[in-house]
Each structure stands twice: as structure tokens, then as C-alpha cells.
Amino acid sequence: MYLSWALWHRGYPEQSARAADRALEYSRLFGHAYTLAYALWHIGMQAIFSRHVKEAGAYADEYVALANEHGFPLWAAYGLVIQGWVAAHNGDTIAGTERIREGLTLAEATGSRNFDPGHLGLLAEALALAGKVDEGLSVLDQALANSAASGQKATDAELHRLRGELVRRLPRPDPAQAEASFGTALAIAREQSTPGYELRAATSLARLWREQGRRGEARDLLAPLYGWFTEGFDTQDLKEAKALLDELA
């Protein structure tokens, strides 16, 4: 599963999906419930990285049932977080945010703090979909503070990108603040060598520049990065980048 995560971050979404499938197959063959729950959560997160809402929901439903059956409270809690994110993306934003909060509370009760910044980022995303932008920004502040305190920095690039997107949705958006957040996200993604997050941040920044009339800068930023990819062209991130480049042509 960690190979799958690494491949996604390094910009190989198709190889990532194949590695996840292999890990899940091995886990099912092994016949050990905890191992299967562990694998299902990780493949659910890989689906979130890839923005595959339907797949994330299917994996979460399976391992929440498995965790409840065998008494794995941490995995049950993490499953609620993914289920909530899926619900929010399917339009049920109120139930989605409530389920994420429930999952976070139950995870905290186990004493675990693993992946807190990433899970808080999913909550902020759901809140934004619910139109609660100010609340989402507060949650992102909490996530970034948690990241700084714990050293769990794997999702920092995405957290800063989300901050930029939420700032743009404020009643009185601040383009300069949004640009700064996107720039920070881009710098972190490059430092961490994660083209997966780098493409997403570059697309957000290029979209902002396009709206400001800075079409050439937007194209020069996004085109080389998109051109670097050799697979995954049917994924949402790459399709969005390609559509934006077509507009900028």
C-alpha cells in the first residue's frame, strides 16, 4: 500500500492503482481481518488522492463493516471520515461533515493522532462544499498547526492549496492571499517531489492567473508540468489541467 501511495505522489497514478490492487488481493488471500482493514483504509486514501469518489466510498463501506464486526475502533473511525468525504462530494454535505467530525472524535478517543492533518483537510473540503467557507478556513488553520507540531507534513501542499481555493470563495475574495497559498502549495510539492500535488497546485494557480488575464504565465506554468506526465490522462487532475491548457492555447 505504501508503494501505491509513493507512486501516486511521484506522478504515476496508473501504476499506483495497480499496486493498490495487488496489495488488496494479497490481503484478501491472507485471510487476516486486521491486515485487510489496514489495506482497505490505505486503498481508500489512495482513491481520495486520485479523487475517485465512488471507489473511495466502496472501500470505506467495506472496512467500516469489517472494523465494526471485529472490534477495530480506529479503522472504524477512519472509515467514517472517508464516508463523510464521499457523502459531501455526492451532494449530502451536512451528513458528510457530521460523519467526518464523528470519525475524528472517535479516532481521538483511541489515542491515535496519525494522519490528523490530512483528515482535517478532508473536513475543510467538505465544509467548503457545504458553503461554510469561514469554518473550513479555521479547520485548515488547525490542520496546519497540527502538521507543524507533529511533523506530519505529507499533506501540507494540499492543505495550502485548499486554503487558496477557500479564500477565493469568500464573499470578498483576496486574490493576493489566494495566490500566496497556491505558491506555497507549489513550493512544498516541489520540495517534497510530489508531482501529484504539484499538478493540482499548478492548476489552481494557473486558473487564478487566467482570470487575472495572465494567460501566458498560466500556460508557461502548467504546460511543462502536464507534459511531464506519461500516464493517468483519464484522472480528474490531468483532465482538468488539459482542459485549462486548451482554454489557454
CATH of 1-127 among 2.70.98.60, 3.90.1300.10, 1.25.40.10, 3.60.21.10: 1.25.40.10
Residue range 158-195, pLDDT digits in tens: 999 999 999 999 999 999 999 999 999 999 999 999 99
Phi-psi region of 131 (alpha: psi -120 to 50; beta: other; left: phi over 0): left
Residue range 84-100, pLDDT digits in tens: 999 999 999 999 999 99
Average pLDDT of the residues in 12-35: 96
Q: How confident is the model at residue 223 (pLDDT cuts 50, 70, 90)?
A: very high
The three cell numbers of residue 82 are: 472517508
Average pLDDT of the residues in 23-52: 95
Q: Give CA separation, 234 vs 51, 156, 238, 239, in Å.
A: 11, 25, 7, 6
Quote the pLDDT of residue 143: 98
What is the DSSP track for 34-57? HHHHHHHHHHHHHHHHTT-HHHHH
Quote the pLDDT of residue 217: 98
Quote the pLDDT of residue 173: 93
229/13 Cα distance (integer angstroms): 10
Secondary structure of the chain: what % helix, strand, coil (to 5)? Answer: 80, 0, 20
Amino acid at 189: A
Q: How many residues does the chain have?
A: 249
Residue range 224-245, pLDDT digits in tens: 999 999 999 999 999 999 999 9
Above 90 in pLDDT, residue 150? Answer: yes
Buried b / exposed e along 229-240 (16+ C-beta atoms within 10 A)? beebeebebbeb
Contacts of 53 (CB under 8 A, 6+ apart): 47, 86, 89, 90
Average pLDDT of the residues in 119-146: 97
Boundaries of every domain in the chain: 1-127
20/184 Cα distance (integer angstroms): 30
Quote the pLDDT of residue 114: 87
